[in-house]
Chain A
């Protein structure tokens, strides 16, 4: 017997993500899902973003890692609430994991939640978390050919941060080729070149984000 199903495979995840999105909207919280490879400078970028925005907004961070709470400790040391999610081996966050972290935060008093997804350019691409924007970070040492190798993540991201631009002189990174391939994959995503640990370029990225937080 033939049975038509016509249902999204990740229906459970998508439904929960939709519920979360509604909760974020009710509380006027803007949620960013940050995607990148391990070592691209996600935590440094978060710290620089906090520095730039903490005077105007109440911020919290959710750290997704396979194990450990190293990153959450770094954020907490800045006086910012941080919740660690250990996926226990899973290569990406799902909305059920995010919900458990959201439940311990005081959404009413928050303006911005930065979710640091598991370091991975592939798997997090396919999972909606209820976020307002997915933002990806690529660092210069990873190479300008990454959009050609991992098109999915560049395509779903609402903005692309190019980190560690202070190392451009020592790496063979073709900036024009990188910009051209991102533009072809995701014509509307702005690209923000930054050096997170030096504070370079962070202002432009932070002001793009601030405009969106104010509208949330």
Chain B
């Protein structure tokens, strides 16, 4: 359950940004999470709901954009998408590949409610 640690990082950053903007509350939190990480959607949602109580994020919606893995072949320069398990280059068969996407754990953006917002 390291999702608690991840969400605690989300809440620290989001609550601070929302407070800086003078927001009443946070409506939406948009995360970008790589498929190659060990984060699980249900556990992230549960941790967010439990840990956001009595913060600006209470009641906010957590939206997760999953980033598919991509690698670059260091031998032939071929860039390719793949699943979680196969990283050899499909073009030349080389094992010399490096992961270029799929390990993201990022806060993309937030939607907040300001005191003078009509909505």
B-binding residues in A (CB < 8 A): 1-13, 90-92, 94, 122-127, 147-148, 151-153, 155-156, 181, 183-188
Q: Within 8 Å CB of B13, what residues of A?
A: 5, 7, 9, 11
B80 to chain A, nearest CB (A): 13
- Contact: B97 with A1, CB < 8 Å? no
A3 touching B107 in the complex, CB below 8 Å, given contacts A12-B9, A181-B85, A188-B95: no
Q: Within 8 Å CB of B112, what residues of A?
A: 1, 3
> Which residues between 57 and 104 of chain B lie within 8 Å of chain A, taking CB atoms?
84-88, 94-97, 99, 103
A151 touching B85 in the complex, CB below 8 Å, given contacts A5-B108, A9-B107, A11-B9: yes
Q: Within 8 Å CB of A123, what residues of B?
A: 1-2, 5, 38
Q: Which residue of A lies closest to B84 (CB)?
A: A151
Q: What is the interface residue range for chain B against chain A? A: 35 or more
Q: Which residue of A lies closest to B13 (CB)?
A: A7
- Contact: B88 with A187, CB < 8 Å? yes
From A5, A122, A151, B17 is in contact (CB under 8 Å) with: A5
B4 to chain A, nearest CB (A): 8
- Contact: A152 with B109, CB < 8 Å? no
A126 touching B106 in the complex, CB below 8 Å, given contacts A5-B14, A9-B6: no
Q: Within 8 Å CB of A11, what residues of B?
A: 9, 13
